[in-house]
Amino acid sequence: MDNHRQDGPADGGGMETENLNDLIEQGRRPNLKAVMRLYLLALLILLVLGSIAQGLDFEIGMLITQWVLILLPALWFLNRYRVDQYSFVRLRPLRAGFIPVIILLSASFWLLNMVIAAGLVSGLMELGYEPIMVIEPPETFQNYLVYLFVIAISAGICEEVLFRGTIMPAMEEHGLVPAIVFSSLLFAIFHLSFLNLISTFMLGAVIAVIVIKSGSLWGGVLYHMLNNFYAVTYLYLAGQEEAATEVDPQAYLAFIPLFILALGGAYAGLKLLQKISVVKPLLEDRDRRWFPRGWFSWVMVFSLLLFLIMALLEFAIGFGWFGLDMI
C-alpha cells in the first residue's frame, strides 16, 4: 500500500486544493509574474538601502535589512493577495520527528558546503586571489551572541518567509521540482556572491525540500537558523578572517574524510526525511522541466545582470584590480 500522498490538509505536503480553487476563482492567487516583481523589489532594496544600512553599522544594518527590507515586502505581498497562511505559507506546527533529521541534514550539508567553498577559495588563491572580509568575526562572546540573533535567528525567519513562504509557493502550480530549483536559484542570486553561489543554491534547495516534506515553513526556519549558527560559531572560533577562509592546499587532503562523512550524513538524512514524510518522492512526478514556464523574463535578465556586476566587483577586489577605498 502506498503511504505517500502529494497534497492534503493532513500531510502538509502541498497547498489545499479547496483553498487554491478559491484563490483562483477570486483572481488573487499569486503567480510567477507577480512574485518575480516582488523579488526584484526586494533585491533592489537590499542592494541599495541594505548596503547603506550595513555600511553604517553592521549589526543594526543587518536587523534593518532582515526585518524591514526583506520581511515587510513579503508580508505586504501576502496580505495583498490574502493568502491562507496555513496552506499557502505552510505556517503549520513542525512535527517533533522532523527535528533530529533537520539537525543531521543541516550539519552534514554545512560541512559539505564548507569543504567545497574552501576548495574553491584555495584554488583561486593559487591564481592570486585574496579573500574578502565580508563579515568581521565577533571578537567577544557578547558580540557572538549578537551575531547569532542578527545572522542566525533574524535571517532564518525573514528570508524563509520571503523565499520558501512566499516565492516558492507561488511557483508550485508549475510543479514542485521547478518551484524548488528556480526559487533556490533566485535565493542564490539574491546573496550577490559568485563564490557562494553553489553553496547558497544548495542551501536553498535543501531547505525547500524540507519545507515541502515536513509541510511546515518552521522546518525551513529551523534549518536556516542551524546553518547560520554553525557559520557564526565557526567564524567566532576561528577568530580571524584569514583562518576562516584560507585553507592550505597541501592540508586540503585532510578534508576528504570529513567530506565523505558529511556526504554519508546528508544521504542518511535525506533517506530519513523521506521515510517520515507522507509526501511521495519529488522526482517521481517530475516532468522534463526544471524551471517553471515563463521563468525567463526581463526581471530575471535584470537580476542576472545585477548579479554579474557584483560578481565582477567581487573578483576585481579579490584579485587586486582595485581596492575598496576606490568604491
**pLDDT higher than threshold 90 for residue 121:** no
- The pLDDT of residue 95 is 96
Q: Which H/E stretch holds residue 63?
A: helix 58-64
> Is 61 part of a structural domain of the chain?
yes
Containing structural domain, residue 234? 28-326
> Is 85 part of a structural domain of the chain?
yes
Question: Distance of CA 42 to CAs 36, 73, 158, 198, 302, Å?
Answer: 10, 7, 12, 21, 13
State the SS3 of 283-325: HHCCCCCCCCCCCCCHHHHHHHHHHHHHHHHHHHHHCCCCCHH
Interatomic CA distance for residues 305 and 301, integer angstroms: 6
Amino acid present at 158: C
Reported as a pLDDT band with limits 50, 70 and 90, residue 79 is very high
Share of the chain above pLDDT 90, in %: 65
52/26: higher pLDDT: 52
Residues 6 or more apart from 191 whose CB is under 8 A from it? Answer: 197, 200
> Is 125 part of a structural domain of the chain?
yes
**pLDDT higher than threshold 80 for residue 247:** no
Give the cell for residue 157.
525567519
**pLDDT higher than threshold 50 for residue 286:** yes
State the SS3 of 65-95: HHHHHHHHHHHHHHHHHCCCCCCCCCCCCCC
182 in Cβ contact with 303 (< 8 Å): no
> Is 148 part of a structural domain of the chain?
yes
Q: What's the whole-number mean pLDDT along residues 215-234? A: 97
Phi-psi region of 239 (alpha: psi -120 to 50; beta: other; left: phi over 0): left
> Is 2 part of a structural domain of the chain?
no
Which of 29-43, 53-67, 188-202, 227-241 has the least mean pLDDT? 227-241
Give, in degrees to the nearest 5, the angle at Cα 233 between 145 and 311.
105
Count of alpha carbons within 13 angstroms of residue 115, beta-carbon side: 18
Residue 29: name the closest of 86, 70, 88, 72 by CA: 88
Counting Cβ atoms within 10 Å, is residue 130 exposed (0-12), middle (13-18) or buried (19+)?
middle
> Is 150 part of a structural domain of the chain?
yes
> Is 10 part of a structural domain of the chain?
no
State the SS3 of 194-257: CCCHHHHHHHHHHHHHHHHHHCCHHHHHHHHHHHHHHHHHHHHHHCCHHHHHCCCHHHHHHHHH
- The pLDDT of residue 108 is 97
- The pLDDT of residue 136 is 84
**pLDDT higher than threshold 80 for residue 133:** no
167/281: higher pLDDT: 167
28/105: higher pLDDT: 105
> Is 13 part of a structural domain of the chain?
no
Domain count, the chain: 1
- The pLDDT of residue 17 is 39
Interatomic CA distance for residues 147 and 145, integer angstroms: 5
The model's pTM: 0.87
- The pLDDT of residue 10 is 39
- The pLDDT of residue 189 is 97
- The pLDDT of residue 135 is 83
